[in-house]
């Protein structure tokens, strides 16, 4: 039984993360569409709102709830994991990912109302945060060892620096 629930958990983690990654990409395009002249701005905005709403409510949010249901079920089946330090850290990152999810939902609702508070560059950096959280969770689950966790944190910090530099380089490239 546990293996089936684990499989469901992994499948819907992939779906949830794909939804989050694509949602923020849509936010970037939606924000950049505001720089277009009319009628393109209105046409693009309406299309992005439809795409965002469907992605969010048909794929991303249901996937998050299935991930949480499967995760809670696995913890009920193996409650000893709640005694392990790596699980506490993982659950902290999961809480961060849930917060990220609801911040994205708030951004979607703002954009639907015509409120664009973040630039496309800020949204690109925001998109990388989900990547970092995903890396942290996967390394924690796979390695579980505290010494490996320290190397993982150093790796994640290095990776985040590389990602931020890549975003800056891409911005310069786009502006040329």
Tokens 């990776």, located at residue: 159
Name the percent of the chain in helix, strand, coil, to the closest 5.
90, 0, 10
The conformation of residue 1, written as its DSSP 8-state character, comes to -
Residue among 50, 20, 46, 44 at smallest CA distance from 32? 44
Q: For residues 90 and 140, is the Cβ–Cβ distance under 8 A?
A: yes
State the DSSP code for 84: S
CA distance from start to end of the chain: 55
| Residue 60 burial class via C-beta count within 10 angstroms: exposed 0-12, middle 13-18, buried 19 and up | buried
Q: Is 9 annotated as a binding residue?
A: yes
* Counts of helices then strands in the chain (DSSP H, E): 6, 0
Binding-site residue numbers for heme are 9, 90
Binding-site residue numbers are 9, 90
């Amino acid at each position: 039984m546990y293996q089936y629930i684990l499989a469901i958990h992994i499948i819907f983690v992939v779906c949830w993360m794909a939804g989050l990654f694509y949602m923020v990409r849509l936010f970037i395009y939606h924000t950049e569409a505001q720089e277009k002249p009319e009628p393109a701005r209105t046409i693009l905005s309406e299309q992005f709102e439809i795409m965002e709403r469907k992605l969010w409510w048909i794929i991303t949010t249901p996937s998050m709830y299935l991930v949480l249901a499967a995760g809670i079920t696995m913890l009920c089946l193996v409650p000893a994991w709640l005694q392990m330090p790596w699980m506490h850290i993982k659950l902290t990152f999961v809480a961060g990912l849930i917060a990220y999810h609801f911040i994205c939902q708030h951004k979607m609702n703002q954009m639907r109302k015509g409120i664009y508070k973040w630039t496309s560059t800020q949204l690109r950096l925001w998109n990388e945060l989900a990547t970092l959280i995903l890396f942290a969770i996967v390394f924690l689950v796979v390695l579980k060892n505290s010494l490996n966790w320290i190397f993982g944190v150093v790796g994640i910090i290095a990776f985040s620096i590389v990602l931020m530099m890549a975003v800056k380089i891409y911005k310069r490239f786009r502006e040329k």
